[in-house]
Amino acid sequence: MRERQPEKASARPDSRFRAAIANALASGASLDQMTLRLTLRDASLLARDRMTPVEDIGYRDGVMHFLGVKVEAGGVPTSTLDIAAPEQSQEA
């Protein structure tokens, strides 16, 4: 019988997405344009991470936010930070 190998520990969701959000903001994206789509595992790890300051996670209208970015948990195979294109005003 083969022994099951432990899964490799990946970087904490906090550190991975904190840097991605900072880069997106530096590139000119706004918080409203970003959505953090997390696997259920990453969402749970982020919410329970004792290293993440309490001020960095908030809930508004029942929706989790990390550093002001809306979090959608589940329904994705890999966690990603999605950045929508800025809305352009239409002039007549």
Tell whether 68 is covered by a domain.
yes
- pTM of this structure: 0.78
Confidence of residue 6 (pLDDT cuts 50, 70, 90): very low
Other Cβ atoms within 10 Å of 50 Cβ, number: 5
At position 38, the amino acid (one-letter code) is: L
pLDDT confidence of residue 10: 60
Query: Is 58 within the bounds of a domain?
Result: yes
What is the tally of structural domains in the chain?
Answer: 1
Is the pLDDT assigned to residue 82 strictly greater than 60? yes
Percent of the chain with pLDDT over 90: 68
Strand order from edge to edge, sheet including 34-38: 57-60, 63-66, 69-73, 34-38, 80-83
Q: What is the mean pLDDT of residues 27-48?
A: 94
Average pLDDT, the chain: 85
In a domain, 87, yes or no: no
- Does 38 reside within a domain? yes
For residue 69, tell me if it sits in a domain: yes
Instruction: Indicate whether 50 pLDDT > 70.
Output: yes
Instruction: Domain of residue 65: give its range.
Output: 13-20+29-81
